């Protein structure tokens, strides 16, 4: 049977305020435990900041600095430099942000840090929208998905952040999903061993934002991977693409059916989305073959 185990040494604490059944909390459990004790965290406004905080308490055992939405990567760069100045080169700087803070508002800071190849581990919790503020669209929202600000569905495609980051030729980019917990843990472990800029994008089906059932986040992320909507990949040095799951085993339909944000779609819309997926997938396959 498929294995789901990963190391848990209590780095993430119960009593946090994530929604019941939240995939972001589940991912944090895996990530914080893989990162371990020798780490300093940086976090910007987003669901993850709320899950971590609730003054004067924290759900993480490592210290976190809460900063502004525009500057996650810039803050993390500064923290790393300060640690280096103290002789703590090996301490991991873990930078957590949402897709709004990554694809949109924090993109400039991220691009600059990537260009400088800062030694930070940047995690983007990609729930495809501004979710803790009530569910508005971001540039990560996929085409056709309904959000508070695109009630009839977004008309443009999801921004391809992986290719943007790859263009910076940073040492490590990866995607991950709560349907593959040991894979997520292994990617964090691997990133820890690499000096320079590492970015891991985790797909986070948002319970209220996507309209999925309380018990269904693993199922939805699994369908996202199996349908090729959210492929599991690694990109090394911006050039070497590896597909961790190299087969699409599902059409897009079952994935869409699990989510209220797609329930207004016509069959034509659904077919269009399938074409988007196929096109992106084929492009990845080509890059992985190169």
Partner 1 sequence: MNNQLSPIWTHLTSEGRNTGTWRSALPNYQNQPSPCHGACPVHGSIAAWIKQVKDKDYHGAWLTLVENNPFPAIAGRICHHPCETACNRGELDETVGICSLERFVGDMALENGWVFPDPEVERTQKVAVIGGGPAGLSAAYQLRRHGFQVTLLEVSGGLGGLMRHGIPAYRLARDVLEGEVSRITAMGIDVRLGVEVADKEALARLHGEYDAVFLATGASLPKRLPGLDYDQNFVMDSAEFLAASPKAQITATGAHVLVIGGGSAALDVARSARRLGREVTVMSLEAEGHLPAQAVELTEAAEEGIRFVSGAMMVSASQHEEKVTVQAQMVDFQPGNGPGKFTAEPIKDSTFALTVNTIIPAIGQDADLDRWSGLLSAEGPVLDTTPGNWQTNHKGIYAGGDVASMSRFVTHAVGMGKEAAHAIAATLATDLPAPPPSQQAEVAYARINTAYHPRHSRNLQELAATDARLKTFDEVQQPLGPDAALSEAARCFSCGTCIFCDNCFFYCPDMAITRLGGAYEVKLDYCKGCGLCVAECPTGSIHMQEEAR
Ligand X SMILES: Cc1ncc(C[n+]2csc(CCOP(=O)(O)OP(=O)(O)O)c2C)c(N)n1
Look up residue 3 and give its two tokens.
């294995």
The secondary structure of residue 283, as a DSSP letter, is H
Residue 22 interacting with ligand X (CB under 6 A):
no
Residue with token string 């597909």: 243
The answer to whether 135 and 148 are in contact (CB under 8 A) is: yes
Q: Kindly report the CA angle at 194 between 53 and 172, in degrees rounded to 5?
A: 80
Among 33, 71, 127, 141, binds Mg ion (CB under 5 A): 127
Kind of pairing between the strands at 233-236 and 172-177: antiparallel
Quick one: what does residue 59 bind among ligand X, Mg ion, partner 1, none, with the CB cut-off 5 to 8 Å set by partner type?
A: partner 1
Residue 233 interacting with ligand X (CB under 6 A):
no
Residue with token string 């917990």: 181
Q: How many CB atoms lie within 10 A of CB 138?
A: 24
Look up residue 224 and give its two tokens.
């996202």
Residue 45 interacting with Mg ion (CB under 5 A):
no
- Please report, in angstroms and rounded to a whole number, the separation of the first and last CA atoms in the chain: 33
Only one of the segments 16-24, 69-77, 134-142, 159-167 lies at the binding site for partner 1 (rule: CB under 8 A); that segment is 16-24
Among 41, 67, 100, 231, binds ligand X (CB under 6 A): 100
Residue closest to 203 by CA, chosen among 213, 182, 217, 191: 217
CA–CA distances in Å: residue 26 to residues 21, 110, 179, 234: 8, 25, 11, 21
Q: Which residues in the 176-205 window bind partner 1 by CB under 8 A?
A: 179, 181
Residue 48, C-beta contacts closer than 8 angstroms, at least 6 positions apart = 24, 28, 96, 97, 98, 125
Among 59, 91, 127, 227, binds ligand X (CB under 6 A): 127
Q: How many CB atoms lie within 10 A of CB 228?
A: 24
Residue 131 interacting with ligand X (CB under 6 A):
yes
Residue 24 interacting with Mg ion (CB under 5 A):
no
Residue 69 interacting with ligand X (CB under 6 A):
yes
Looking at the Cβ atoms of 60 and 197, the one nearer to partner 1 is 60
Looking at the Cβ atoms of 58 and 280, the one nearer to partner 1 is 58
Residue with token string 């990866």: 174
Residue 1 interacting with partner 1 (CB under 8 A):
yes
- Closest approach of Cβ 15 to partner 1, in Å? 4
Q: Which residues in the 135-174 window bind ligand X by CB under 6 A?
A: 138
H-only helix segments in 120-216: 161-167, 181-192
Quick one: what does residue 132 bind among partner 1, Mg ion, ligand X, none, with the CB cut-off 5 to 8 Å set by partner type?
A: ligand X
Residue 71 interacting with ligand X (CB under 6 A):
no
Looking at the Cβ atoms of 136 and 250, the one nearer to ligand X is 136
Residue 133 interacting with ligand X (CB under 6 A):
yes
Q: Which residues of this chain interact with Mg ion, rule CB under 5 A?
A: 98-99, 127, 131
Contacts with ligand X, residue ranges (CB under 6 A): 45-47, 69-70, 97-101, 105, 125, 127, 129-133, 138
- Residues lying near partner 1 in the complex (CB under 8 A): 1-2, 4-6, 8, 10, 12-18, 20-23, 25-26, 29, 53-59, 61, 179, 181, 214-219, 222
């Amino acid at each position: 049977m498929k294995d789901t185990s990963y190391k848990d040494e209590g780095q993430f604490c119960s009593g946090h305020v994530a929604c019941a059944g939240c995939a972001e909390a589940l991912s944090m459990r895996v990530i914080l435990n893989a990162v371990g004790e020798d780490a300093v965290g940086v976090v910007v406004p987003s669901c993850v900041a709320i899950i971590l905080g609730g003054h004067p308490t924290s759900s993480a055992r490592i210290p976190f600095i809460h900063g502004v939405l525009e500057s996650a990567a810039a803050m993390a760069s500064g923290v790393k430099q300060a640690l280096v100045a103290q002789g703590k080169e090996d301490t991991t700087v873990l930078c957590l942000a949402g897709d709004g803070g990554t694809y949109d508002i924090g993109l400039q800071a991220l691009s600059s840090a990537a260009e400088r190849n800062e030694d930070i581990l940047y995690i983007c919790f990609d729930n495809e929208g501004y979710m803790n503020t009530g569910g508005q669209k971001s540039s990560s929202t996929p085409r056709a998905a309904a959000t508070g600000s695109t009630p009839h569905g977004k008309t443009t495609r999801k921004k391809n952040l992986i290719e943007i980051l790859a263009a910076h030729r940073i040492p490590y980019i990866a995607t991950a999903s709560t349907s593959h917990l040991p894979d997520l843990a292994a990617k964090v472990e691997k990133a820890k061993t690499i000096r320079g800029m590492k970015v891991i994008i985790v797909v986070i089906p948002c319970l209220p934002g996507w309209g999925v059932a309380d018990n269904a986040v693993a199922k939805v992320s699994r369908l996202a991977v199996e349908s090729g909507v959210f492929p599991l990949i690694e990109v090394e040095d911006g050039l070497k693409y590896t597909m961790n799951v190299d087969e699409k085993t599902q059409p897009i339909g079952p994935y869409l059916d699990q989510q209220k944000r797609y329930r207004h779609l016509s069959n034509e819309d659904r077919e269009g989305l399938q074409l988007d997926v196929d096109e992106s997938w084929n492009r990845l396959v080509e890059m992985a073959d190169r």
